[in-house]
Each structure stands twice: as C-alpha cells, then as structure tokens.
Amino acid sequence: MQTASWTPFALAALLFWGFWGLFTKMATFHLPARSVYLLGILGYLPIAAFLVFSPGLSLPWHPLGWAAAMGAGFSTALGLLCYFQALAAGGQASVVVPLTSLYPVVTVILSLVFLKEGLTLRQGVGLILAMVAVWLLAE
C-alpha cells in the first residue's frame, strides 16, 4: 500500500497540534489567556522568517485569494483567542480541545452552503460520529 504524498504532513500536523493542546493548557495555569495568546504568536515568527527567506517565495496578487487568506488568518486569530480564554476560564483540556476540534463540522456545513460541495452518506455518518465522540468525552 502506497502512502499519499500528503499523509506525512497530515500526521505531523496531528502530532504538533496534540502538543499544542497540551502546551496551551499548561500555559494557562501560569498566565492569563491574553498573555498566552500574545506569547504564542511569537512562536509563529521563526516559521514566518523561514518562509519569507525561502527560495521561490511568491505572493501573487488576486483580490479574492488575498481576502480569503486574510479572513482565514482573522478567523484563526479570533478562534485562538476564544480557545485560550476557554482554557483560562477553567475548561479542561480533555474537553475544550476535542470540542474546538469539531471545527470541520462547521467547515463542511459552510462548504455545502457556499461552495456547493457534496456530502456522501459515509461522510455524514462520520460527522455525526465525531460529534457523538466529543459529547462522550465531555461527559
């Protein structure tokens, strides 16, 4: 069985985001949510510098592409701030992380409405099972 070229990156993201959930909860034990947020942004800087100084960087102008990318960044920033606030307000990482990890359900619904993408029965069942799993974790 051959591994798709995207698989190692998806598994790496899974691993890094797993540590991210742990580190953010640990940080909120010692710092207010806004401080964790601002300090967390500093973690982006080395990656941003690497990308800026990588050969072949291109930022072609496309108004809709730029607007969508900026919207993605703004949504990420607001979601992250709310996530940190949920942890700092006493939310358990074992509940807050899985709950906020249901964001793909929102994406699927928005994609159905705005992008006119389809949803198979199997995918619909998967979304329902994901929501049930988070409900079970939260109990």
Unique residue bearing structure tokens 């940190």? 84
User: Is 127 within 8 Å of 108 (Cβ atoms)?
Assistant: yes
What secondary structure letter does DSSP report for 53? T
Name which residue leads in pLDDT, 111 or 138: 111
pLDDT digits (tens, 9 = 90+) for 66-81: 999 999 999 999 999 9
User: 3-class DSSP state for residue 79?
Assistant: helix
Q: How many CA atoms lie within 13 A of 57 on its CB side?
A: 8
Q: How far apart are CA 95 and CA 97, in angstroms?
A: 6
Mean pLDDT, all residues of the chain? 90
- What is the tens place of the pLDDT at every residue in 31-47? 999 999 999 999 999 99
pTM of the predicted structure, to 2 decimals: 0.79
The residue-averaged pLDDT of 91-112 equals: 88
The pLDDT assigned to 1 comes to: 63
Q: In this structure, what is the dihedral angle of CA atoms 75, 79, 81, 85, given to the nearest 10 degrees?
A: 160
